[in-house]
């Protein structure tokens, strides 16, 4: 048979290089696909930072490149959490900002003037390309099949579960953390396989990078010890395991302690104790293995039993004592909420109020992973078939991550990599079976088979494995192709429709089909930035704190960092109380402007009235006597804003600010709230301690100026009543002695 040009390219030594080249080209294409599928929002809108947290990261990055690394490290930010401030340098994960800072300085060195905003916007897509590559490496460690790695890389590149956190503009810690997660796991597998200090040290290095980048590093901190622990329990102790784990643990812990925010947590926090425990256990096991070589078997058994009992006893007593005395910190609240989904709702409403902390609805799995989710168990099963050390890792990871993804929506992100690995293993074995192993035994080999095996039993002959029927081959391959195509279509659709909205800019369609951009957020933020004093304090619900800091560049009372629940509750109380109660709070906190988000005109459902109950709940957690959630529901248990609204609701500052003057836009009595679909009371709520300062074009953002004290020393309510021409009722005249205002 004459060699076709393809054979020349694909076989022999030149074949190896050309296959390598092909693989590189495929990987580069996958990376390009991964990057380009994340650019929907840049093309549709512009290069803009998305949502909430990224605005803080962006602001911090700008601070880093303006002031240098050391002042970033010592950064005390007095423009947030007024009047407390925030030790920002010590309470953030600096990995993301430092990464973009380094990229920025490299580009500056090459005198390529790229705006820092563009670096931040495109960082996540760029790293997703790297993630695809890391995925290829990780999967190649799991299976011998050459196609599995490439498939896994392709899956990882476009699966919505990962895209949800890494579209262009979503400049968040996860943007680089998933790459680091996958790459650290790859290095770990490599270290376990080779028992090499170098790979172990590299694992520790990237683990340190991961710690600097994302709080989710705890997942690695617990998963690797668990892997080792399971291997030990399976009786698979080996010097390779010892070398790689001890190297990783010692170096990795030191590296992680360099981050100020982490500090001494690795040796004091319960979340990190498993790593320390497994480290100790591994020493004992290694010692036992060492001793076994010198002591005869029976005595060794006795010694082993005794020492296990003693060590376990000491460990339990010691751990209890340390926990009681407080040297080891108890489990953190977020950790508890992982095991008990109701925990947060009762104890930490602020965590429960974030939508991404809610338990996952089951369609979300299919939405984010499409057909990978049902290939996933098959892949895990295949790992059970040849259970090497690395396959144990895949199994543990799958079990843990599946559980966590079920508990919290955002942890779908940690599940996605292992789903891609498992699905790629499963799919590649299908493809290998039906496409490559299909050529039946050739005549020559059959002949030699007959010669050699004529003496043996039929069953011991080389089994005739493989599918030879063309029909089944065609059916299987075509169905796989169809599934893959559907996957790609689904991923693109989900990315384009669900995950590519900047949420700062809203888009809608005009009747003629052209795009209409609703840019109210930036309109109002830019108004604040341009027309208020540099130090005007803005009070808003914490969701908008980072955006105000980033876009309006004004100090805020609370923001998305949520480190001080009491402060947030104070804002909640100010929003949910009557003006007489709120005004002193506003004065005490130097508030100049209050910002509320109101969607009633446009039907924008993510507004403050819909979030209002969380404000009430959080305030109630601190002042149960003054703010009561029950007061905001009608007698029939309804949450209403119309005529039937409860007095507490109608007197609350939030209600008044949202609907102030809104009725004047409509004919008398015709005012409709399009979010809650209810007709509003005919009269507009009267505000006496605040002035409307600015309202954006579609009324989404409303800004109020806090009035100064009245010049004549009246309280604001009577002052406004006087201005409106209402006479003071005689009956309400007080006869007590005059009291000086105290403020």
Partner 1 sequence: MRPFAAIAAFSGLFSSCLLVCAESTKDFTPPQAFKNVNLVRNTNLEKGYAREIINVVVENVDSEPRSSYYLAVPTELFDKVGGLEVRDKKAPEKDRFAVDSVLVESSSNSQYFVIDFPEPLAPKAQITLGISYYILNALSPRPATIEQSEKQFLSYSFSAYTPSAYPTVTQKTKLKLPSMNVPDYTVTSGLKSGEDPERLGTTYTYGPYDTSKVAPGTNYPVTVRYEFTKPVITASLLERDLEVSHWGGNLATEERYWLRNNGSALKNHFSRVEWTVSNYQQMPSVSIRELRVPLKPGAVDPYFIDDIGNVSTSRYRPGKLPARDASLELRPRYPVFGGWNYSFRIGWNDQLSSFLRKVSGGASDSYVLKVPFIEGPKVPEGIQYEHVVVRVILPEGARNVRYEVVDKATSNGLPNTDNIKASVTPHKTFMDTLGRTALTLTVENLSDEARDAQILVSYEYSLWDSMRKPVTITAGLLTVFVAAWAIGNVDVAIKKR
User: ∠ CA(335), CA(340), CA(342), 5° rounding?
Assistant: 115
Mark the segment that binds partner 1 (CB under 8 A) among 108-116, 157-165, 216-224, 402-410.
108-116
**Residue 536 in the binding site for partner 1 (CB under 8 A):** no
Smallest gap from residue 611 Cβ to partner 1 (A)? 22
Tell which residue, 130, 122, 129, has the closest CA to residue 50: 122
- Binding of partner 1 by 692 (CB under 8 A): yes
Is residue 525 within the footprint of partner 1 (CB under 8 A)?
A: yes
Angstrom distances, CA of residue 473 to CA of 146, 372, 401, 599, 689: 20, 21, 34, 56, 77
Using CB under 8 A as the binding criterion, the count of chain residues that bind partner 1 stands at 32
With binding defined as CB under 8 A, does residue 243 bind partner 1? no
**Contacts with 352 (C-beta within 8 Å, 6 or more apart), sequence order:** 344, 345, 358
For position 644 contacting partner 1 by CB under 8 A, the verdict is no
86-94, 218-226, 578-586, 658-666 -> range binding partner 1 (CB under 8 A): 658-666
Report the residue from 254, 486, 665, 682 that binds partner 1 according to the rule CB under 8 A.
665
- Give the side-chain half-sphere CA count within 13 A for 400: 17
Q: Pick from 312, 321, 517, 682: which binds partner 1 (CB under 8 A)? A: 517
CB of 462 to partner 1, least distance (A): 38
- Is residue 664 a contact residue for partner 1 (CB under 8 A)? yes
Examine residue 711 and tell whether it contacts partner 1 (CB under 8 A): no
519 binds partner 1 (CB under 8 A): yes
694 makes contact with partner 1 (CB under 8 A): yes
**Contact between 279 and partner 1 per CB under 8 A:** no
Stretch that binds partner 1, among 105-113, 255-263, 562-570, 612-620 (CB under 8 A): 105-113
Interface positions, 301-330, toward partner 1 (CB under 8 A): none
| 514 lines the binding site for partner 1 (CB under 8 A) | no
Q: Would you tell me how many other CB atoms lie within 10 Å of the CB of residue 730?
A: 6
Nearer to partner 1, 580 or 691 (CB): 691
Nearer to partner 1, 111 or 451 (CB): 111
Does the footprint of partner 1 cover residue 526 (CB under 8 A)?
yes
Residue 691 binds partner 1, judged by CB under 8 A: yes
Nearer to partner 1, 151 or 680 (CB): 680
Our finding on whether 696 is near partner 1 (CB under 8 A) is yes
Q: Return the residue of 148, 201, 551, 609 that touches partner 1, per CB under 8 A.
A: 551
Alpha-carbon distance of 453 to 447, in angstroms, equals: 10
**Nearest distance, CB of residue 552 and partner 1, angstroms:** 8
715 near partner 1, rule: CB under 8 A: no
At residue 592, the 3 state secondary structure works out as strand
Residue 360: partners with Cβ closer than 8 Å, 6 or more residues away: 405, 406, 407, 408, 409, 412
3-state secondary structure of 341: coil
**Which of 2, 112, 144, 233 is the binder for partner 1 (CB under 8 A)?**
112
Q: Which of 44, 473, 705, 714 touches partner 1 (CB under 8 A)?
A: 705
Decide if residue 722 touches partner 1 (CB under 8 A).
no
Cβ distance to partner 1 smaller for residue 491 or 602: 602
Q: How far is the CB of 702 from partner 1 (least distance, A)?
A: 8
Give 534-554 as a DSSP string. Answer: TT-EEE--GGGHHHIIIII--
416 in contact with partner 1 (CB under 8 A): no
Q: Which stretch binds partner 1 (CB under 8 A): 122-130, 445-453, 577-585, 687-695?
A: 687-695
Q: Which residue has the tokens 């076709």?
A: 4
Number of neighbours of residue 452 by Cβ within 10 angstroms: 11
Cα angle for residues 396, 337, 494 (degrees, 5° grid):
70
Q: 23, 388, 473, 522: which one contacts partner 1 (CB under 8 A)?
A: 522
Of these, 699, 700, 706, 720, which contacts partner 1 (CB under 8 A)? 699
Residues 6+ apart with CB under 8 A from 347: 333, 336
Q: How many helices (H) and strands (E) does the chain have?
A: 32, 8
Q: 372 with 420: CB under 8 angstroms?
A: yes
Q: How far is CA 128 from the centre of its chain?
A: 15
Q: List Cβ neighbours of 423 (8 Å cut-off, separation of 6 or more).
A: 151, 152, 155, 371, 372, 375, 376, 378, 379
Phi, psi of 15 (to 5 degrees): -65, -40
- 565/558 Cα distance (integer angstroms): 10
What is d(CA 733, CA 715) in angstroms, rounded to the nearest whole number? 14
> What is the enclosing helix (H) or strand (E) of 673?
strand 672-673
- What minimum distance in Å lies between the beta carbon of 694 and partner 1? 5
432 part of the interface to partner 1, by CB under 8 A? no
Which residues, in sequence order, are CB contacts of 457 under 8 Å at separation 6+?
none
Calculated CA dihedral for residues 368, 370, 376, 379, nearest 10 degrees: -130
Residue 198 or residue 486: which is nearer to partner 1 going by CB? Answer: 198
Nearer to partner 1, 165 or 702 (CB): 702
Residue 541: how many CB atoms within 10 A of its CB? Answer: 23
With binding defined as CB under 8 A, does residue 111 bind partner 1? Answer: yes
258, 299, 661, 686: residue in contact with partner 1 (rule CB under 8 A): 661
Binder of partner 1 out of 91, 464, 531, 605 (CB under 8 A): 531
Q: List the interface residues with partner 1, window 8-67 (CB under 8 A).
A: 45-48
| Sites of contact with partner 1 (CB under 8 A) | 45-48, 110-113, 505, 517, 519, 522-523, 525-527, 529-531, 551, 661, 664-665, 691-697, 699, 705
């Amino acid at each position: 048979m004459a060699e076709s040009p393809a054979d020349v390219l694909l076989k022999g030594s030149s074949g190896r290089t050309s296959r390598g080249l092909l693989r590189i080209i495929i990987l580069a294409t996958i990376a390009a696909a991964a990057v380009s599928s994340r650019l929907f929002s840049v093309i549709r809108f512009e290069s803009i930072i998305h949502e909430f947290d990224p605005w803080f990261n962006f602001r911090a990055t700008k601070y880093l490149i303006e002031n240098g690394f050391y002042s970033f490290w010592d950064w005390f930010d007095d423009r947030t959490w007024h009047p407390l401030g925030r030790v920002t340098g010590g309470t953030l994960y600096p990995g993301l900002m430092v990464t973009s800072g380094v990229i920025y300085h490299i580009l500056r060195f090459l005198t390529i003037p790229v705006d820092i905003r563009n670096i931040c916007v495109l960082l996540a897509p760029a790293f997703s390309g790297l993630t695809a590559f890391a995925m290829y490496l990780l999967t190649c460690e799991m299976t011998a099949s050459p196609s599995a790695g490439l498939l896994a890389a392709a899956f990882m590149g476009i699966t919505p579960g990962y895209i949800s956190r890494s579209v262009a503009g979503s400049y968040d810690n996860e943007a680089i953390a998933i790459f680091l997660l996958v790459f650290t796991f790859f290095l770990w597998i490599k270290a376990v396989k080779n028992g090499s200090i170098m790979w172990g040290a590299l694992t520790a290095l990237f683990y340190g990078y991961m710690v600097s980048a994302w709080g989710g590093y705890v997942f690695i901190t617990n998963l690797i010890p668990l892997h080792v622990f399971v291997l030990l329990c399976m009786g698979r102790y080996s010097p390779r395991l010892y070398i790689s784990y001890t190297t990783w643990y010692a170096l990795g812990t030191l590296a992680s302690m360099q981050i100020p925010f982490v500090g001494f947590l690795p040796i004091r926090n319960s979340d990190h104790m498993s790593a320390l425990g497994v480290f100790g256990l591994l020493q004992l096991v290694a010692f036992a293995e060492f001793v076994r070589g010198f002591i005869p078997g029976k005595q060794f058994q006795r010694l082993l039993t005794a020492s296990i009992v003693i060590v376990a006893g000491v460990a339990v007593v010691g751990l209890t004592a340390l926990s009681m005395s407080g040297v080891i910190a108890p489990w953190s609240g977020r950790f508890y909420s992982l095991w008990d989904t109701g925990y947060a709702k009762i104890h930490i409403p602020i965590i429960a109020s974030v939508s991404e902390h809610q338990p996952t609805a089951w369609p979300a799995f299919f939405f984010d992973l499409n057909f990978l989710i049902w290939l996933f168990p098959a892949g895990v099963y295949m790992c059970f078939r040849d259970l090497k050390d690395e396959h144990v890792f895949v199994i543990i990871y799958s079990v843990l991550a599946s559980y966590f993804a079920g508990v919290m929506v955002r942890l779908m992100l940690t599940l996605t990599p292992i789903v891609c690995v498992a699905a790629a293993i499963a799919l590649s074995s299908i493809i290998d079976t039906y496409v490559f192993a299909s050529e039946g035994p050739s005549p020559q080999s059959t002949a030699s088979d007959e010669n050699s095996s004529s003496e043996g039993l039929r069953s011991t002959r080389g089994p005739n494995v493989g599918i030879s029927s063309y029909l089944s081959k065609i059916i299987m391959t075509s169905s796989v192709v169809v599934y893959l195509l559907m996957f790609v279509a689904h991923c693109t659709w989900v990315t384009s429709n669900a995950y590519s909205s900047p949420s700062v800019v809203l888009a809608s369609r005009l009747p003629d089909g052209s795009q209409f951009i609703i840019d109210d957020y930036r309109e109002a933020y830019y108004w604040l930035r341009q027309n208020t004093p540099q130090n005007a304090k803005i009070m808003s619900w914490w969701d908008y704190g980072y955006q105000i800091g980033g876009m309006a560049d004004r100090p805020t009372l609370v923001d998305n960092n949520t480190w001080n629940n009491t402060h947030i509750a104070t804002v909640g109380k100010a929003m949910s109380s009557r003006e007489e109660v709120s005004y002193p709070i506003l004065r005490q906190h130097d508030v100049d402007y209050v910002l509320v988000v109101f969607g009633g005109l446009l039907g924008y459902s993510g507004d403050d009235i819909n979030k209002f109950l969380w404000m009430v709940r959080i305030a109630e957690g601190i002042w149960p006597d003054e703010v009561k959630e029950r007061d905001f529901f009608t007698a029939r248990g309804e949450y209403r804003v119309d005529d039937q609204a409860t007095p507490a609701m109608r007197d609350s500052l939030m209600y008044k600010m949202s609907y102030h003057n809104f009725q004047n836009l409509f004919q008398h009595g015709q005012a409709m709230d399009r979010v809650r679909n209810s007709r509003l009371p005919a009269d507009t709520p009267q505000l006496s301690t605040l002035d409307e300062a600015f309202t954006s074009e579609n009324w989404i953002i409303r800004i109020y100026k806090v009035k100064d004290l009245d010049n004549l020393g009246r309280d604001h309510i009577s002052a406004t009543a006087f201005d409106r021409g209402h006479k003071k009722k005689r009956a309400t005249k007080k006869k007590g002695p005059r009291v000086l205002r105290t403020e």
